[in-house]
Structure 1
Amino acid sequence: MSTVISGPTQAAGAPLTSNAVFLIVNVTPSGVDTVRETLTGLADTMKAITFRFPDAGLTCTVGIGTRVWTSLVGTARPKELREFTPVAGATHSAPATDGDLLFHIRAERADVCFFFETRLLDALGDAVTVVDETVGFRSFDRRDLLGFVDGTANPVGPEVDEAVLVGDEDPAHRGGTYVVTQKYVHAMSAWNALPADTQEMILGRSKVDNIELDDAAEGHQQSHKSLATIEDDDGTEHDIIRDNMPFGSPGAGEFGTYFLGYSRHLWVIQRMLERMFIGEPAGMHDRLLDFSTALTGSVFFAPSAGELASAHAPEASRTAS
């Protein structure tokens, strides 16, 4: 199984960067051919830009939604690919929102992200409509705007492929990965009014030195860290890659975190959200949600670079034409 960081496209496991753009678009009814042509030529476009800016660490991972998968890629959908399933707890909810394609653009330079996104949207033209565009940035030593280090639990080294890449369970889409995105906004005044030790109990980590705190006893309120740790029925823990980024506009009073998770199995992130929003046990939701509101929710599948480059019209369409 090849690594997810082998090139500038479909680089789910690439190192965290200083800048990112999360671009979600819908494909127009007449835009499928243009979009497919753009996606299959993406690697060449990336090569030209990375040649000019070799130290920028530019990558772009494309996620494709279930509605347009067959028409764009020409193959059967990945086994777990579906629309985002909303999660409704007693107090908080994770909504589902629109989106056919995700472009996860990352680089060490904001101008390179901007330049590539401009080229990309020029190529797509009126074949797509923009649903959401969020620009993220690195905050201090990879801290979110709540003041805690984010992404600490990400797998590293050889563990990355095992956690993220689809394998023999779906051989037609081996090397791809499921992607879930959510956009959260934070009630910063209320959060900042909490004592630091209360914030630490909610997150499950110390704020200054990022040390894990002990889990609460079974049946008691669990921390965000504990609720986001997923084990299967055999007790095996399943990791994901979180490539979250802070975003915001102080002038508009907007402070947020863009959650983006890559996973080999979509059910892992689904169970994580259920534990957060419904609670474990039910009724004891993640207290972080009292200060963080989910605005969006989308699911995509990021095929391997090879599968993306070989996308074609479905057989029925080719026969009809």
Structure 2
Amino acid sequence: MALPPELIDFPELGEGDAHAPSTDVDVLIHCHSTRHDLLFYALRKGISDIAEDIEVVDETYGFRYLDARDMTGFIDGTENPKAEKRAEVALVADGEFAGGSYVMVQRFVHNLPAWSRLNLAAQEKVIGRTKPDSVELDNVPAASHVGRVDIKEEGKGLKIVRHSLPYGSVSGDHGLLFIAYCHTLHNFKTMLESMYGVTDGKTDQLLRFTKAVTGAYFFAPSQAMLQELTLKNQ
């Protein structure tokens, strides 16, 4: 089977504290459940069946934090597409890979003590939104997070479907497991280049308070593609 036409290795971007590493691996397993116990049970059973053939590189469990907020205290995913728009943004529309989706994963470790030293107004300037209700600022700073990722091409905003969740422990690493889906890798690539200073030399000011420790691209096949692969292997 041919590879999806846009799928590439995740690029290493930036430098110093504003650095996005490339940690490509072969397979991503992304699972959702409101029952952590059942999720653990199912994954443990599934992984045990193939344990001799794989090496688990990273295993991260996310959780809903307060009212869908990141650990910075700001609401996450405000601009996520709603209802039927989600499929339009996330899924390849036609061709051999129709119904599939490009996936980007980055795990961020937050520096919450440094973040907490900022007052409310300073935090809002870093994000580009108000903290209580996630309203975009009237004058969004160009180097704020919103200023870096709210990108328009030919008058149309570049959209992705976020499935990010906070993760971690109080005494250990904690931050955001960023996972997003899109019908084209172009949107991820453009946002990353804007965040990490490739586009115009400006870096996302949020990167002063969080650091990416993983970075990888994947392609999630459609159910029809998975069924076809299953039949071929029987």
Q: TM-score range by the shorter chain?
A: over 0.9
Change (3 A) 1:122 1:91: closer
- Equivalent residue number for residue 135 of structure 1: 61
Q: Deviations over 1:197-221 (max 9, x none)?
A: 11011111111122111244xxx63
- Equivalent residue number for residue 289 of structure 1: 207
- Equivalent residue number for residue 247 of structure 1: 167
Structure 1, gaps ≥5 residues long: 1-74
Is the Cα contact below 8 Å between 1:202 and 1:223 reproduced in 2?
A: yes
Alignment match of 2:144 (pick from 223, 243, 252): 223
Q: Deviations over 1:112-148 (max 9, x none)?
A: 2111111210222211110100011110101111111
Please list, as runs of the form range in 1=range in 2, the aligned pairs for 1:19-30 lying within 5 A after superposition: none
- Equivalent residue number for residue 147 of structure 1: 73
C-alpha distance in structure 1 between counterparts of 2:111 and 2:131, whole Å: 18
1:179 aligns with 2:99: no
Structure 2, gaps ≥5 residues long: none
Report deviation, 1:90: 6.8
Identity of aligned residues (%): 37
Is the Cα contact below 8 Å between 1:98 and 1:131 reproduced in 2?
A: no
- The normalised TM-score by structure 2 is 0.94
Please list, as runs of the form range in 1=range in 2, the aligned pairs for 1:151-162 lying within 5 A after superposition: 151-162=77-88
Is the Cα contact below 8 Å between 2:17 and 2:211 reproduced in 1?
A: no
Residue identity matched to 1:256: G
Is the Cα contact below 8 Å between 2:106 and 2:215 reproduced in 1?
A: yes
1:197 aligns with 2:121: yes
Report deviation, 1:109: 1.2
Report deviation, 1:238: 2.1
Report deviation, 1:250: 1.2
Residue identity matched to 1:276: M
Please list, as runs of the form range in 1=range in 2, the aligned pairs for 1:1-321 lying within 5 A after superposition: 75-89=1-15, 92-168=18-94, 171-216=95-140, 221-232=142-153, 234-252=154-172, 254-278=173-197, 281-282=200-201, 284-311=202-229
- Equivalent residue number for residue 32 of structure 1: none
Report deviation, 1:259: 0.5
Say which structure is richer in strand.
1
Change (3 A) 1:91 1:189: closer
SS of residue in 2 equivalent to 1:103: coil
SS of residue in 2 equivalent to 1:258: strand
C-alpha distance in structure 2 between counterparts of 1:97 and 1:289, whole Å: 18
Report deviation, 1:191: 0.3
| Matched positions, count | 233
C-alpha distance in structure 1 between counterparts of 2:16 and 2:194, whole Å: 12
Report deviation, 1:280: 5.5
Residue identity matched to 1:88: G
C-alpha distance in structure 2 between counterparts of 1:90 and 1:221, whole Å: 20
- The normalised TM-score by structure 1 is 0.69
Change (3 A) 1:91 1:295: closer
Report deviation, 1:161: 1.5
